[in-house]
Amino acid sequence: GAVVSQHPSRVICKSGTSVKIECRSLDFQATTMFWYRQFPKQSLMLMATSNEGSKATYEQGVEKDKFLINHASLTLSTLTVTSAHPEDSSFYICSARGEGGVRTQYFGPGTRLTVL
Amino acid sequence: RKEVEQDPGPFNVPEGATVAFNCTYSNSASQSFFWYRQDCRKEPKLLMSVYSSGNEDGRFTAQLNRASQYISLLIRDSKLSDSATYLCVVNPAGTALIFGKGTTLSVSS
């Protein structure tokens, strides 16, 4: 099946630093990419939806100035957590959707962020 | 009311048991429905789509009742490898997938 990669898989950083997470669709063009966040024992919560070449659409309660999303190409989207704080520690998962719609949507392996 | 609600469990069953999970969703305009499986500290993976006519994939059977906005998953002859969290997922009108909190299954020998 299609593959979506994320990098890094794990990151530990100090409070106040910024962290960039990359999401790549390896063998298909992703017209839409989604960023989710999952806290322990909680469901995946959608943070934002991004379409290549346009601004991301953020879900209510997600600060767009704190979570910067760039979807520069059909195979790459990045999420930058700016001035990270301990409460931002979470499992961040991207998902890429191809032209076939929801049935061609694949998840990356996730990035575990720990902010000290 | 949450968009997708599931009994979190955990469901602790012996090998060979049959177990059923239920899920309700609030958005009557939802168009697509899925069950995903998530292993600990891993990304979710599609298990199967869910249709009103019901669908079966080996030991797994999924059912959708649009009138009552209810989705089910039945696992027969449980295996140790079935231990995971099962996520009920809906897709309202082609937008992003909306996930339930998941139901945890633990199969023991």
CB-based contact B41 A112, cutoff 8 Å: yes
Establish, for the pair of chains A and B, how many residue pairs have beta carbons separated by less than 8 Å. Answer: 43
Rg (CA), chain B: 13
Identify the contact set of chain A against chain B, taking CB-CB distances under 8 A: 34, 36, 41-46, 49, 91, 93, 95, 101-103, 105, 107-110, 112
Strands B70-75 and B60-65, by their bridges, are antiparallel
Give chain B positions within 8 Å (CB) of A113. Answer: none
pLDDT block averages, 10 residues each, chain A of length 116: 88 96 91 92 91 88 94 92 96 89 83 96
Residue written as token pair 């309660």? A61
Give chain B positions within 8 Å (CB) of A109. Answer: 42-43
- pLDDT for position A104: 72
CB-based contact B96 A34, cutoff 8 Å: yes
Nearest residue in chain B measured CA to CA from A48: B96
The model's pLDDT over A49-60, given as tens digits with 9 standing for 90+, comes to 998 888 899 999
For A62, residues 6+ apart whose C-beta sits below 8 A from its C-beta are A47, A48
C-alpha closest to that of A94 among A60, A71, A64:
A71
- pLDDT for position A105: 82
